[in-house]
Amino acid sequence: MSDSVKRVVLAFSGGLDTSVILKWLQQEYQCEVVTFTADLGQGEELGPARRVAETLGVKPEHIFIDDLREEFVKDFVFPMMRANALYEGLYLLGTSIARPLISKRQIEIAKLTGADAVAHGATGKGNDQIRFELGYYGLSPDVKVIAPWREWDLTSRTRLIEFAEKHQIPIPKDKRGEAPFSTDANMLHTSSEGKVLEDPWEEVPDYVYSRTKNPEDAPDIPEYITIDFERGDGVAINGEGMSPATLLEKLNEYGCEHGIGRLDLVENRYIGMKSRGMYETPGGTIYHAAHRGIEQLTLDRGAAHMKDELAPRYAELVYNGFWFSPEREMLQAAIDHSQVRVNGTVRLKLYKGSVSVVGRKSPDSLYSEKVVTFEDDAGAYDQKDAEGFIKLNALRLKLLGKRNERNG
């Protein structure tokens, strides 16, 4: 193995799994390891990742801890939100959308440091291995990919801890016992799965939730906010202009306070099995509702309905790891074109786990009160026109009906 890899860039959290992977790479591949830790707004201190890397012999110049929060929201979350993408009609793709950015930055660091390989800590049962590796190959076709969970024999938490103890790898106290569930977090969401969540009949325990109040304990008085949109992207809350990441973080605060964004889902993994997960997407749930609200005013029926047809396909591509594919880019171009006139303001009501659109206005609105009114429209619409419209649409149905009558 030592001849095949000289330097590898590892996606590194500083936790038990990736710390063991770091040491394992040094031993098995006899190579130099570069660590990359992405700050995607997961709410954790990232200093320990640097200290663990240094303890395990990584050179200071080969420890990368990058703040990617603005890029994450601006170039990945917002484009996905323009599509109204929901995987299997419910999941806002919080984990899925983070993987292409991590892959992209890993490849950039590999080129910067002269590394000839990249590595990740995803297991062989999940979707993340696919997402990471499709991203790597899409951006650097000849890069070598190392997936330790598909190679080593450390197949249990006990064996990981034994390896860590043997090699004096720091082990957080909460990793000593059997973890009740695993989590993944970023600015958009927190996901939890495994252990206490594996029986889909059992309700998610309250202690699993970390980002939202229990809706039953949320304020008894609803709160109203507004979100301003320009070309399909949120730009302000309550009239105050904000950067993409700042806007999403503020919506997270609202969602947390009102218990918004919880999802208990049994989903179909791309790898071929079903899994049960709990997702908390407080700000994203509010944002998704607001974006659909402004589109109600500004998108033509044909464009809106076509977008709704494209959205499940777009969501599936993101979920399955095809962010850098030509088909996703083609869909993105069409979706972005539809957003040119998606401008205006949406008013939302936040109350005990729910978000409701209660008002919307736009300088580019296609809504005409003069045409739609039940009062006198002063000739804006001739109701007699509907008769011919109905007859033309009914023609084929009448012909079918006559044939059916003849045939009994």
Q: Of 39, 66, 116, 182, which is the active-site residue? A: 182
51 is catalytic: no
**What averages of pLDDT result for each successive group of 10 residues across the chain (408 residues)?**
81 93 96 97 89 95 97 98 98 98 98 97 94 98 96 88 90 64 93 94 95 97 98 98 98 98 97 96 98 98 98 98 98 98 98 98 93 79 92 96 92
How much is the pLDDT for 176?
A: 60
Residue 179 pLDDT: 64
What is the structure's pLDDT at 9? 98
Instruction: Return the closest-CA partner of residue 236 out of 245, 247, 225, 252.
Output: 247
What's the pLDDT score for residue 174?
57
Phi (first) and psi of residue 138, to 5 degrees? -65, -30
Closest alpha carbon to 18 in 41, 43, 38, 42: 38
Listed in sequence order, the residues at least 6 apart from 139 whose beta carbon sits closer than 8 Å to its beta carbon are 103, 104, 107, 324
What does the pLDDT read at residue 2? 46
pLDDT for the residue 173: 61
- Predicted confidence (pLDDT) per residue in 148-165, tens digit: 999 999 988 889 999 999
- Mean pLDDT, the chain, rounded, equals 94
The neighbour count for residue 177, using CB atoms within 10 Å, is: 8
**Residue 72, both tokens:** 């994450």
Using CA atoms of 244, 248, 250, 256 in order, give the dihedral in degrees to the nearest 10: 180
Q: Are 285 and 255 in contact (CB under 8 A)?
A: yes
Integer angstrom CA distances of residue 299 from 162, 171, 292, 309: 58, 53, 10, 14
Walk me through the domains of the chain, giving residue ranges and CATH numbers: 7-72+94-179 (3.40.50.620), 183-299+341-361 (3.90.1260.10)
Residue of 19, 103, 128, 191 marked catalytic: 128
Give DSSP secondary structure letters for 275-298: EEEEEE-HHHHHHHHHHHHHHHHH
The question of whether 99 is a catalytic residue gets the answer yes
> Is 313 marked active-site?
no
**Known active-site residue 176:** no
The Cα 61–Cα 403 span in angstroms is 80
Please check whether residue 254 is in contact with residue 352, taking contact to mean a CB–CB distance below 8 angstroms: no
**Which of 81, 34, 79, 94 lies closest to 60, judged by CA?**
34
Letter for the amino acid at 240? E
Helix H or strand E encompassing 242: none
Please count the other Cβ atoms lying within 10 Å of the Cβ belonging to residue 390: 10
The catalytic residue among 13, 17, 262, 362 is 17
Q: What is the pLDDT of residue 54?
A: 95
Of 50, 69, 82, 99, the active-site residue reads 99
Helix 47-55, helix 16-28: angle, nearest 10: 30
